[in-house]
């Protein structure tokens, strides 16, 4: 079942984002090379990303439940000027992946973006995210660019 976000979901979404992004997180990549960056771990930074999504657009967050337990979510932000909806984060608990939950979440957020007047939807993934590199094109997204991220210690 897909439903709208409730404030009481926040902590479990933070748990899920860390589980689902393990191995495919920019912040984790930085930590592998440089060690802990700043006072927070990559997991704590993912928690902060989730908090930012909640503050930015709580109406654009949808949650997947299986037998009453939250197993995934998707978040989006809106740009009414460009009419581009940005799917910021999508995560499904690893043991629930491969069951179509991601497809359901994506369908829900695309309906939401259309209803909000968006004409395009964008999403980003890392080269190392093998699931995303297959899933998003199958869902109809077209690759438009690749970006290289750099970090240096000061």
Query: CB of 98 within 8 A of CB of 139?
Result: no
Total count of domains within the chain = 1
For residues 49 and 53, give the distance between their C-alpha atoms in angstroms, rounded to a whole number: 6
Other C-beta atoms lying within 10 Å of the C-beta of residue 117: 10
What's 60's domain CATH number? 3.40.630.30
pLDDT of 109 reads: 98
Answer yes or no: is 153 within a domain: no
| DSSP character string of 121-142 | EEE---TT-HHHHHHHHHTT--
Answer yes or no: is 144 within a domain: no
pLDDT of 94 reads: 94
Answer yes or no: is 7 within a domain: yes
Helices (H), 2-129: 10-21, 26-34, 42-56, 101-115
**3-class secondary-structure state, position 76:** strand
Answer yes or no: is 145 within a domain: no
pTM score: 0.93
pLDDT of 114 reads: 98
For the chain, residues with pLDDT lower than 70 are: none
Answer yes or no: is 110 within a domain: yes
Domain of residue 17: give its range: 2-138
For residues 104 and 108, give the distance between their C-alpha atoms in angstroms, rounded to a whole number: 6
Answer yes or no: is 154 within a domain: no
């Amino acid at each position: 079942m897909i439903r709208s976000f409730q404030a009481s979901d926040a902590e479990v979404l933070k748990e899920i984002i860390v589980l689902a992004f393990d191995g495919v997180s920019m912040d984790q990549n930085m930590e592998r090379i440089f060690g802990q960056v700043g006072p927070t771990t990559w997991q704590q930074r993912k928690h902060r990303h989730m908090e930012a999504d909640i503050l930015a657009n709580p109406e654009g967050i949808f949650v997947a439940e299986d037998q009453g337990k939250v197993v995934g979510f998707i978040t989006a932000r809106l740009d009414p000027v460009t009419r581009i909806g940005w799917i910021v984060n999508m995560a499904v608990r690893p043991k629930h992946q491969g069951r179509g939950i991601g497809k359901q979440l994506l369908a829900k957020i695309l309906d939401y973006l259309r209803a909000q007047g968006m004409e395009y939807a964008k999403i980003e993934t890392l080269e190392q995210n093998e699931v995303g590199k297959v899933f998003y094109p199958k869902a109809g997204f077209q690759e438009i660019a690749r970006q290289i991220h750099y970090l240096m210690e000061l």
